[in-house]
A and B are shown apart, each in its own frame.
Chain A
C-alpha cells in the first residue's frame, strides 16, 4: 500500500531541480558588509569634509552610540543571515540578543546624556532629516539581507524580516552617524538610533509576507 508520504516523495522527486547551495553565513555577511561599506564610502566621499565627524568621538555619548549601532548592525546582520538557515538557531539567538543589548545600552546612554546639563537642543527639522536619510541609506543593505532571507528557508519569516530590517537600519544609522556632525544627545537618539526602529516598524510586516511567499 502506498501512503500519502510515499506519493509525496514521488512528487518531490519529479519536482527536483538542481539548486546552488546558499553562501556560507560568513560569505553572505561579507557581501552585506561590502555593500554597506560602498554606500558609506559614497556618502562620505560626497561630503565637503569626509572626516568632519571624527573629532566628535571625543564625546562619550557620541562614541557609545557609534559602538552600539555598530555592534547592533553586525550582530543583527549575522542573526538575520542565520535565521534563513535551519540548524543555525543558536547563532540567530546570539546575534539577536547582542543587537538588542547594544541598542538598549546605547539608547540608555543617549537618554542619560540628554538629561545631563549642557545637552544641545536639535535644530528644527534636523532629527527628521537624519532619520529620513538613515532610512534611505538602509534600503540597499536591507535589499541584500532580504534577498538572502528569500533565497533561504526562514522558519519564522516575520521574525527574520524584523531582524533583517533592524540590521539594515543599524547599518544605515551608522552611516548617518558618521556623516552628521551635530552632537546633541537628543538628536543622536531621535535621528540616528531610531533608524532601525523606524525601518523595522515600517517594513517588518510586508517584508515578512514577502519572505513567506518567496522563501525556498
Chain B
C-alpha cells in the first residue's frame, strides 16, 4: 500500500539529487570561465527563479524585473558559491534577498514606476501632441543633467531599445555595470522629472490662482 508513493518520492529525490549535481558541475565550470556551461546553468535556473519570484510578486512585469535582478545578483556573486555546498540553497538565498530588495525599493519609491515615464517619452505615437511638447523638453533637459555614463545607458536601453548585452557592448562595459548605470540613471531621471512636473503644475496653476483669488492675492502661497 505504501510502496508506490515511497518509490515515487525516492525517484523524485534521486532526480533532485541528479539535478543538484548537474547544477553544481555547471557552476564550477562557469567559475572557471566556461560560457556554454554557464548558459545551460542560467537557462535551467531561470524558470526555477521565476517560480520562486512569482509566488511572492504578483505583478508580471515587476516579477520579470526581479528575475533579471536575481540573475544579475547570481552573476555578480558567483565567486561566493563553493562546490562543497549545495547549489539550490545558495541560489534560493540570492533570489530571496532580491525579492526582499524589490519590496524595499518599491516601498521607498512609493510604487513610482520610473521606467514608464521614460517609455512614455520614447513612444511618441501614443502621446498627444500637447503632452509630448510639454514632456519632451523636460526629459531632454533631465537626460542632459545626468552623468555621461548614466545618460548613455538610459539612452541605449530605453530610447534606442537595445538589449542589455547590445548596450553593454556598445558602451564597452559589462552587462552588470550597464544595468547598474541604467538603474541609477532612471532614479536620477525620476527625481529630475518629478521636480519638473511639480514646477510645471505650479506654473500652470499660478495665473488661475492669481486671477481667481477673491482676495486678489498672488497665488504663490499654495
Asked if A13 contacts B38 (CB within 8 A), the reply is yes
Interface hits, A150-207 → B, CB 8 Å: 151-153, 155-156
Tell me which of A33-41, A85-93, A128-136 binds B.
Answer: A85-93
Asked if B71 contacts A9 (CB within 8 A), the reply is yes
Query: How far does the alpha carbon of A56 sit from the alpha carbon of B168 in the complex, in Å?
Result: 62
In this assembly, does A58 line the interface, its C-beta being within 8 Å of a C-beta of chain B?
Answer: no
Summed over the interface, the residue pairs from A and B with CB atoms below 8 Å come to a total of 119
Asked if B97 contacts A17 (CB within 8 A), the reply is no
In this assembly, does B222 line the interface, its C-beta being within 8 Å of a C-beta of chain A?
Answer: no
Tell me which of A19-27, A42-50, A66-74, A99-107 binds B.
Answer: A19-27
Query: How far does the alpha carbon of A149 sit from the alpha carbon of B84 in the complex, in Å?
Result: 20
In this assembly, does B58 line the interface, its C-beta being within 8 Å of a C-beta of chain A?
Answer: no
In this assembly, does A116 line the interface, its C-beta being within 8 Å of a C-beta of chain B?
Answer: no
Query: How far does the alpha carbon of A145 sit from the alpha carbon of B48 in the complex, in Å?
Result: 33
Q: Which residue from B33, B89, B97, B165 sits with its C-beta under 8 Å from A18?
A: B33
Q: Which residue from A3, A20, A156 sits with its C-beta under 8 Å from B79?
A: A20
Interface size class on chain A is 20 to 34
Q: Which residue from B38, B50, B76, B169 sits with its C-beta under 8 Å from A215?
A: B76
Rounded to whole Å, the gap between the CB of B58 and the closest CB of chain A is 18
Task: Chain B residues near A215: list those with CB within 8 A.
Answer: 76-77
In this assembly, does A10 line the interface, its C-beta being within 8 Å of a C-beta of chain B?
Answer: yes
Asked if B80 contacts A153 (CB within 8 A), the reply is yes
Task: Chain B residues near A20: list those with CB within 8 A.
Answer: 31, 79
Query: How far does the alpha carbon of A154 sit from the alpha carbon of B100 in the complex, in Å?
Result: 13
Task: Chain B residues near A8: list those with CB within 8 A.
Answer: 68, 71-72, 163-165, 175, 179
Asked if B64 contacts A3 (CB within 8 A), the reply is yes
If the complex has contacts A21-B31, A22-B80, are A89 and B71 also in contact, measured as CB distance less than 8 A? no
Asked if B163 contacts A84 (CB within 8 A), the reply is no
Count how many chain B residues have C-beta atoms less than 8 Å from C-beta atoms of the other chain.
Answer: 46
In this assembly, does A11 line the interface, its C-beta being within 8 Å of a C-beta of chain B?
Answer: yes
Query: How far does the alpha carbon of A155 sit from the alpha carbon of B92 in the complex, in Å?
Result: 12
Q: Which residue from B42, B79, B84, B94 sits with its C-beta under 8 Å from A13?
A: B42
If the complex has contacts A3-B64, A5-B71, A153-B76, are A86 and B93 also in contact, measured as CB distance less than 8 A? yes
Task: Chain B residues near A1: list those with CB within 8 A.
Answer: none
Residue of A nearest to B100 (CB): A155
In this assembly, does B81 line the interface, its C-beta being within 8 Å of a C-beta of chain A?
Answer: yes
Residue of B nearest to A155 (CB): B97
Interface hits, B39-57 → A, CB 8 Å: 39, 42-43, 46, 50
If the complex has contacts A17-B33, A215-B76, are A11 and B165 also in contact, measured as CB distance less than 8 A? yes
In this assembly, does A59 line the interface, its C-beta being within 8 Å of a C-beta of chain B?
Answer: no
Chain B CB count within 10 A is highest, among A20, A87, A89, for: A87
Interface hits, B81-96 → A, CB 8 Å: 81-85, 89-90, 92-94
Query: How far does the alpha carbon of A158 sit from the alpha carbon of B89 in the complex, in Å?
Result: 23
User: Contact mask B136-177 → A, CB, 8 Å, 1/0?
Assistant: 000000000000000000000000000111001100001110
Asked if A11 contacts B175 (CB within 8 A), the reply is yes
In this assembly, does B190 line the interface, its C-beta being within 8 Å of a C-beta of chain A?
Answer: no
In this assembly, does B182 line the interface, its C-beta being within 8 Å of a C-beta of chain A?
Answer: no
Asked if B79 contacts A9 (CB within 8 A), the reply is no
Rounded to whole Å, the gap between the CB of A160 and the closest CB of chain B is 12
21 contacts between A and B (CB under 8 A): A4-B68, A4-B163, A5-B68, A9-B46, A12-B38, A13-B38, A13-B42, A14-B175, A15-B175, A16-B38, A16-B75, A18-B31, A18-B33, A20-B79, A21-B80, A22-B79, A22-B82, A152-B77, A153-B73, A155-B100, A216-B79
